[in-house]
């Protein structure tokens, strides 16, 4: 009986692979192709097969957005096979698929990294753009699953990394992260920095009374919102003093059929500072911080990376001083 179930599972999977591989005929157009060969991902003794299914209708559909491809996986050690949706692929090509394991306790785990490549051609630039999609491997009951989480913003250095010629000044631009080796080195360096920063915060946290006194002595920088925002974004002590607790955090997550907004309330150790990066960090990462609107005792600041879906809104309210009450993460 067990052998029969296993053979049934393998037959279903084989049929799906054969369907992807068969040539398209004029009378039988294929709407699904293969952007990249299937990849086997494992965690312990559990394995899944990951498929990168290309949308051949890209460019033919005029209404609505059609991604270049979508990622699915199926378990290889189950008696009931199923095809599970993970996330979309926006790049024209998949340059590489590889794995990385984070060591920092709060983010520890193995992930699949998908490096995409896309042609860029306009009056200012000619070349390619590279981006990295991170998909964590997680245990789902007694099965292995591949997930996409949009709650954490992507590393700006690994998004839309240009490689080609800047036509405006005829200068060659080279992307530093267009292969698995360079990307894994950056991730390892960032992981080590997070661990070092965590140890530093633990050392500071050993004297909570002093930290509390320091925060309570922070004066309101200004009741003028623009001046307040300038000080708030540059000084960690101002952020800690003028963030409401609990802080409302709203993030965009994958939904069926449309993305959904997930709401959380953060306080104490759940809050990670800085909540807004300082000017030097913003300039290094290509981010802009502007005042979106101000009406009476309410104001909204927006942090974004132009020409990407990286968008954060920071919503403030004014009492005796301005305070951050809610963060909206619209990134996909």
Has residue 111 been placed in a domain? yes
CB burial of residue 3 (10 Å; 0-12, 13-18, 19+): exposed
Predicted confidence (pLDDT) per residue in 250-273, tens digit:
988 766 667 778 888 988 888 888
Q: Are residues 157 and 238 in the same domain?
A: no
**Residue 78, pLDDT score:** 62
* Structural domain total, the chain: 2
Q: How confident is the model at residue 215, as a pLDDT?
A: 55
In a domain, 210, yes or no: no
Please tell me the predicted confidence (pLDDT) of residue 151. Answer: 63
Binned at pLDDT 50, 70 and 90, residue 231 comes out as very high
Q: What element of type H or E holds 68?
A: none
| Residue 141 and residue 276 in one domain | no
Question: The domain containing residue 63 runs over which residues?
Answer: 2-177
In the block, tokens 């053979």 appear at 7
62 in a structural domain? yes
> Is 245 found in the same domain as 115?
no
Q: Does residue 213 lie in a domain region?
A: no
Is residue 201 domain-resident?
no
Please provide residue 39's backbone torsions phi and psi, each rounded to the nearest 5 degrees. Answer: -125, 135
Q: Render pLDDT for 270-293 as a digit per residue (tens, 0 to 9).
A: 888 899 999 999 998 999 999 999
> Judging by DSSP bridges, how do beta strands 243-253 and 322-329 pair with one another?
parallel
pTM: 0.55
Taking residues 304-310, report their average pLDDT. Answer: 89
Q: Do residues 245 and 143 share a domain? A: no
- The model's pLDDT over 29-42, given as tens digits with 9 standing for 90+, comes to 677 888 999 999 99
**Residue 311's pLDDT band (boundaries 50, 70, 90)?**
very high
Model pLDDT, residue 182 = 94
Could you tell me which residues are beta bridge partners of residue 109?
Answer: 102
266 and 169 in a common domain: no
Residue 153 domain-assigned (yes or no): yes
pLDDT computed for residue 210 by the predictor:
41
Residue 190, in any domain of the structure: no
Instruction: Please give the mean pLDDT across all residues of the chain.
Output: 82
Within 10 A of 325 (CB to CB), how many other CB atoms are there? 16
Answer whether residue 167 is part of any domain. Answer: yes
Q: What distance, in Å, lies between the first and last C-alpha atoms of the chain?
A: 45
Q: State pLDDT tens for residues 188-211.
A: 888 888 777 666 555 545 544 343
């Amino acid at each position: 009986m067990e052998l029969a179930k296993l053979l049934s599972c393998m037959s279903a999977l084989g049929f799906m692979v054969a369907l992807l591989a068969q040539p398209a005929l004029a009378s039988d157009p294929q709407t699904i192709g293969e952007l990249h060969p299937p990849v086997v991902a494992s965690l312990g003794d559990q394995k899944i097969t990951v498929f990168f299914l290309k949308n051949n209708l890209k460019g033919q559909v005029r209404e609505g957005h059609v991604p270049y491809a979508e990622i699915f996986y199926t378990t290889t050690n189950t008696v009931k096979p199923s095809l599970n949706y993970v996330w979309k692929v926006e790049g024209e090509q998949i340059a590489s698929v590889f794995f990385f394991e984070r060591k920092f306790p709060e983010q520890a785990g193995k992930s699949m990294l998908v490096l995409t490549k896309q042609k860029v051609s306009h009056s200012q630039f000619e070349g390619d753009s590279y981006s990295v999609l991170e998909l964590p491997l997680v245990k789902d009951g007694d099965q292995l699953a591949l997930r996409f989480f949009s709650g954490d913003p992507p590393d700006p250095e690994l998004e839309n990394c240009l490689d080609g010629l800047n036509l405006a000044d005829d200068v060659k631009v080279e992307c530093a992260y267009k292969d698995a080796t360079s990307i894994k080195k950056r991730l390892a360096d960032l992981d080590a920095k997070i661990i070092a920063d965590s140890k530093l915060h633990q050392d500071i946290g050993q004297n909570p009374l002093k930290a509390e006194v320091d925060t309570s002595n922070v004066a309101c920088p200004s009741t003028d919102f623009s001046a307040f925002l300038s000080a708030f974004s540059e000084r960690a002590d101002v952020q800690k003093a003028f963030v409401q607790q609990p802080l409302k955090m709203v993030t965009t997550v994958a939904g069926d059929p449309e993305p959904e907004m997930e709401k959380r309330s953060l306080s104490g150790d759940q809050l990670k500072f800085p909540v807004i990066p300082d000017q030097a960090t913003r300039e290094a990462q290509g981010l802009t911080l502007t005042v979106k609107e101000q009406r009476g005792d309410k104001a909204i600041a927006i942090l974004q990376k132009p020409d990407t879906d990286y968008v954060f809104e920071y919503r403030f309210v004014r009492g005796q001083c301005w305070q951050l009450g809610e963060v909206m993460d619209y990134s996909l």
